[in-house]
Amino acid sequence: MAETTSRRRGRGGGGAARRAERTAVRIETAKYIERNIPNFEILNEEALEIIENNAETVLEEVGVNFIDNPKALERWREAGADVVGERVRIPRGLARKLCETAPSQFTQHARNPEKSVVIGGRNLVLAPVYGPPFVRDIHGGRRYATMEDFNKFVKLAYMSKWLHHSGGTVCEPTDIPVNKRHLDMLMAHMTLSDKPFMGSVTDPSRAQDSVEMCEILFGKEFVQENTVMTSLTNINSPMTFDDVMMGALEVYAKNNQACIISPFIVGGAMAPVSVAGTLTQVLAEVLAGIAYSQLIRPGAPAIFGAFVTSIDMNSGAPTFGTPEAAHITYGAGQLARRLGVPYRSAGSFCGSKLPDAQAAYETANSLNMGLLSGVNFMLHSCGWLEGGLVADFEKFVMDADQLGVLHGLAKGVAYDENAQAMDAIREVGPGGHYLGCAHTQANFKDAFWKTELLDYKPFETWEDEGSRDTRTLAAQRVEHLLANYRQPELDPGIAAALSAYVEEKKASMPDAFM
Within 381-410, which residues bind its own copies (CB under 8 A)? 386, 389, 395, 398, 402, 405-409
For residue 233, state whether it binds its own copies (rule: CB under 8 A): no
Partner residues linked to 118 by β-bridges = 107
SS3 85: coil
C-alpha 190/C-alpha 155 separation (Å) is: 11
Least separation, in Å, of the C-beta of 30 and its own copies?
13
CB nearer its own copies, residue 216 or residue 291: 291
Give the binding range for its own copies (CB under 8 A) out of 202-210, 253-261, 430-438, 475-483. 430-438
Tell me what percent of the chain is helix, strand and coil, each rounded to the nearest 5.
Answer: 45, 15, 35
Q: Taking the complex as a whole, how short is the minimal distance between the CB of residue 52 and its own copies, in angstroms?
A: 12
Give me the phi and psi of 116, to 5 degrees please: -65, 150
Beta strands in 280-385 (DSSP E): 302-311, 318-319, 343-345, 377-378, 384-385
Nearest of 344, 379, 370 to residue 166 by alpha carbon:
379
Q: How far is the CB of 60 from its own copies (least distance, A)?
A: 12
Interaction of residue 142 with its own copies, rule CB under 8 A: yes
Residue 275 CB, nearest approach to its own copies (Å): 5
Sign of the torsion angle spanned by Cα atoms 426, 427, 431, 436: negative
- Environment class of residue 304 by beta-carbon count within 10 Å: exposed (0-12), middle (13-18) or buried (19+)? buried
Q: From the list 178, 425, 495, 497, which residue makes contact with its own copies (rule: CB under 8 A)?
A: 425
Collapsing DSSP states into helix, strand and coil, what is residue 101? coil
Of 196 and 238, CB closest to its own copies: 238
Using the rule CB under 8 A, is 415 a contact of its own copies? yes
Task: Specify the stretch interacting with its own copies by CB under 8 A; choose among 25-33, 96-104, 357-365, 374-382.
Answer: 357-365
Among 31, 87, 297, 338, the residue binding its own copies under the rule CB under 8 A is: 87
138 binds its own copies (CB under 8 A): no
Report the distance separating Cα 200 and Cα 202, nearest Å: 6
Can you tell me which of 24, 25, 28, 54 binds its own copies, judged by CB under 8 A? 54
Separation between Cα atoms, residue 218 and residue 212, nearest integer Å: 10
d(CA 341, CA 308): 19
The site map against its own copies for 279-318 (x = CB under 8 A) is -xx----------------------------xxxx-xxxx
Per CB under 8 A, does 268 bind its own copies?
A: yes
Could you say which residues in the range 441-460 bind its own copies, by CB under 8 A?
443-445, 447-451, 454-459
